[in-house]
A and B are shown apart, each in its own frame.
Chain A
């Protein structure tokens, strides 16, 4: 087995008095797709946001490619350049066209000549099936299209790991499929992904490993077929019974 690309050890996080994460341990290997499932308020999103330091953990360590990122002095921007994020509410830049949304960060960080970056952005748009929308403003797109642009925008940084924070939860039901399809293609291309999701179909079919969280703890984890077909923990059983 190869070395873990992201490793989380004894991670805890509290907002004031409220303990959100308690003693979380996890590791992700390159090319692995991990789904994090569980009821609302179980700490899934906070967990994800700790991995790229959008939230600062209270204790525990997070290691990325062998470097401890939770230590003082670690270059957070390097982490952000290599670990991309897709948000529940897309967070596209409303004042920029679709193509400019994708090109903004590579341009600002001088990752290539303008023409080259434009070409790359068009390729990414083709990958998510939206070449024809390059010059549209995000506000003119459907939620599903916006989320696909957001995925293309994250990919423009050529990330090594991609985090998804409930990427389909803000979408109308009929638009969920197109986003999941793009994510499935990414998984098949070998992208390392951690996906917080309520889409049990995706968790079961696409991911290599499923983590079930409740009350800030990892209650159960394992291969999707095991967790879904034969959950060992009572709470996992209850949760799965309520959503499936």
Chain B
């Protein structure tokens, strides 16, 4: 079979359409994941045993099952059981959010636990409430520690969006697969796809490392 590399170029506009969707899901997903991760991480650092257990079960379930299965379950199984419809895009964002949230919660927990206990005691001895100690003393310091790991998790989530092709979200991998099935230019198009991800993540890595340096 003769390769025609012009297809690699001509598929790019289609992939860019998918890229928008990929970024939309990744950004909204990671924001949701950060919110979940923060709450779960705090629950896992706190003293309430029941909340700690519940948070632990969530983390165990997410870590113990593949993202693709989570997406399938969220998009097909849960709506069927509860008799409602969930748009593929929403299911995709929630899947990325729930998935990254579990990993982010461990990042949050680790960062909070790495802050010297003396910081907590100093706040307590000044008469601050637990909430005030957390928001104005512990978290600002913990965020700095978390940042590199959070950036890393963001890149992972960008790549993870490709798995959402199984629920038919029109992200970049889905667009490429569609293009392949209508042209049979497998090598040319998947090469373009791989290059797109590579370039995207290289740019993101660069931007994120710049952000990290600015935060120091």
Residues of A within 8 A of B124 (CB): 54, 80
- Say yes or no: is B152 at the interface (Cβ < 8 Å to chain A): no
Among B23-31, B32-40, B133-141, the stretch that binds chain A is: B133-141
- Say yes or no: is B1 at the interface (Cβ < 8 Å to chain A): no
Among A22-30, A85-93, A221-229, the stretch that binds chain B is: A85-93
A108 touches B118 (CB 8 A): no
- Say yes or no: is A238 at the interface (Cβ < 8 Å to chain B): no
- Say yes or no: is B144 at the interface (Cβ < 8 Å to chain A): yes
Contact string, B104-118, partner A, CB cutoff 8 A, digits 1/0?
000000000000101
Tally of A interface residues using CB under 8 Å: 23
CB distance from A213 to the nearest CB of B (A): 21
B141 touches A95 (CB 8 A): yes
Contact of A108 among B119, B121, B136, B140 (CB under 8 A): B136
Residues of B within 8 A of A72 (CB): none
Q: Which of A63-105 contact B (CB under 8 A)?
A: 77-78, 80-81, 83-85, 87, 89, 91-95, 104-105
A105 touches B126 (CB 8 A): yes
Tally of B interface residues using CB under 8 Å: 18
Residues of B within 8 A of A186 (CB): none
B126 touches A87 (CB 8 A): no
Residues of A within 8 A of B141 (CB): 93-95
CB nearest to B121 among chain A residues: A54
Please measure, in the bound complex, the distance between the C-alpha atom of A92 and the C-alpha atom of B122, giving whole angstroms.
8
Binding site for A on B (CB under 8 A): 116, 118-119, 121-129, 132, 136-137, 140-141, 144
| Cross-chain pairs A/B with CB under 8 angstroms, 28 sampled | A54-B121, A54-B124, A54-B125, A77-B128, A78-B127, A80-B124, A80-B126, A80-B127, A81-B126, A81-B127, A83-B125, A84-B125, A85-B121, A87-B118, A87-B121, A91-B118, A91-B121, A91-B122, A94-B141, A95-B140, A95-B141, A104-B126, A104-B136, A105-B123, A105-B127, A108-B132, A108-B136, A157-B127
Q: Which 8 interchain pairs have the tightest Cβ spacing?
A: A81-B127, A105-B126, A91-B122, A91-B118, A85-B125, A80-B127, A108-B132, A95-B140
